[in-house]
Amino acid sequence: MSDNGLTPELMLDMYYHMALARAVDDRMWILNRQGRAPVVYTSNGHEAAQVGSAFALNRGEDWICPYYRDLALVLAYGMTPREVMLHLLGRADDPNSGGRQMPAHWGHAKLHILTGGSVVATQDVHAAGLALASKVLKDGRVSVAYFGEGSTSQGEFHEALNFAAVHKLPVIFFNENNGYAISVPARKQMVVQDVAARAQGYGMPGVIVDGNDPIKVYEVVKEAADRARRGEGPTLVEAKTYRFVPHSSDDDDRAYRSREEVAEAKKRDPLTLFEAYLKKAEILTDDKLKAMQQQIKDVVNDATEYAEKAALPDPATLTDHVYGSM
């Protein structure tokens, strides 16, 4: 084990959040297929990249700017399964948006999870701006933008990297490259092989990491965060991973990728790999795993029941929060 600050307890906690995210994700799909949740966006397959990166940050203090794929990230950052389910079902107490935004549009002011829209890469410049304030105010915070590889075709991705590099901002650009923007493969987004290669054009380090290995992701993000806090500027991290299920509950991935390809990718399921690693290191035992699985089942059941019973927004609140003052 390398000297990275990850204790067995922290690694178990990482595993717990990865498994929790997978279970919440599975439950959301079931709710969708039962007609109880209109739409689901998945993090299935991305858990190691998201949880590994979250654990490398000062959670609740550093800013994260997620995109719709980041269920495991926000859970690891402190959002509760109950809060996730309130969001999925559009309940009044949804802390992300009070039932205003469609699912997977995360945002939690108290946890320093920035609210996001649906146009991709908009959060990249927000992350640079959060970091600009950190630089001016010297608050010691790092900001992290999360995004898919498809969104690196957007102008704002490039504008954000350039702005951050010129002003040496404490920000990390964290790409979750699963090879597909819905149906469009990465080779139709860019000619270069790696998103990380683009860092060179902006004069910052571009680091490729195995996105199915939470420890490696943790180490890379920790280093990038340390670098940012030292005032040495931004880093572009590319976590190579795979999405095991369709883009959303309205997508059918059979139209654009073979079952063989998906089956091959699943051999490197981050959950299975990390479980084996922890068992081999004797951090996780069968008994512990069983207890954890039961705990997760209970938590997910509780979250589902809690959210389904929770009140819907009052239509009279439709016009609230347009302005702070008039």
Partner 1 sequence: MAVLSYLEAIRETLRQELRRDSRIIIYGEDVGVRGGVFRVTEGLQKEFGEDRIIDSPLAEAAIVGTAIGAAINGLRPVPEIQFADFIFPAMNQIVQEAARIRYRSNGTFAVPIVIRAPYGGGVHGALYHSQSVEAFFAHVPGLKVVVPATPYDAKGLLAAAIQDEDPVLYFEHKAAYRSLKGEVPEERYLIPIGQADRKREGTDVSVITYGLMVSYALKAADELEKEGISVEVVDLRTVRPLDLSAIIETARKTGKVLIVHEDNLTGGIGGEVSALIAEHALFDLDAPIMRLAGPDVPAMPYSAPLEHAFMVTPEKIRDKARELAKF
Q: State yes or no: residue 114 binds partner 1 (CB under 8 A).
A: yes
Q: Is 87 a catalytic residue?
A: no
Q: Is 31 in the site for partner 1 (CB under 8 A)?
A: no
Render 238-284 in DSSP notation, one character per residue. EEE----S-SBTT--GGGTS-HHHHHHHHTT-HHHHHHHHHHHTTSS
Q: How many residues does the chain have?
A: 326
133 binds partner 1 (CB under 8 A): yes
CB of 117 or CB of 185, closer to partner 1:
117
CB of 157 to partner 1, least distance (A): 10
Q: Is 119 in the site for partner 1 (CB under 8 A)?
A: yes
Distance CA 10, CA 12 (A): 5
Q: Does the footprint of partner 1 cover residue 152 (CB under 8 A)?
A: no
Q: How many CB atoms lie within 10 A of CB 8?
A: 13
Q: Single out the catalytic residue among 46, 105, 112, 243.
A: 243
Helix (H, G, I), strand (E, B) or coil at 76: helix
Options 28-36, 108-116, 208-216, 222-230: segment touching partner 1 (CB under 8 A): 108-116
Q: Does 214 bind partner 1 (CB under 8 A)?
A: no
163-182 positions binding partner 1, by CB under 8 A: 163, 166-167
Considering only residues 76 through 95, tell me which ones interact with partner 1, judged by CB under 8 A.
94-95
247 is catalytic: yes
Tell me: does residue 132 bind partner 1 (CB under 8 A): yes
Which residue among 1, 7, 58, 117 contacts partner 1 (CB under 8 A)?
Answer: 117
If binding is defined by CB under 8 A, does position 315 make contact with partner 1? no
Question: Residue 144 — left, alpha, or beta (φ > 0 → left; ψ -120 to 50 → alpha)?
Answer: beta
What angle is formed at CA 47 by the lines to CA 242 and CA 200, rounded to 5 degrees?
Answer: 65
Contacts of 205 (CB under 8 A, 6+ apart): 199, 224, 227, 235, 236
CB of 233 to partner 1, least distance (A): 14
Coil, helix or strand for 223? helix
Q: How many residues bind partner 1 (CB under 8 A)?
A: 52
| List of residues 6+ apart from 271 with CB closer than 8 A | 18, 19, 22, 47, 48
The pairing of beta strand 206-210 with beta strand 63-65: unpaired
Active site residues: 243, 247, 256
Which parts of this chain interact with partner 1 (CB under 8 A)? 63, 65, 94-101, 105, 107-110, 114-115, 117, 119, 122, 124-137, 139, 141, 143, 155-156, 159-160, 162-163, 166-167, 320-326
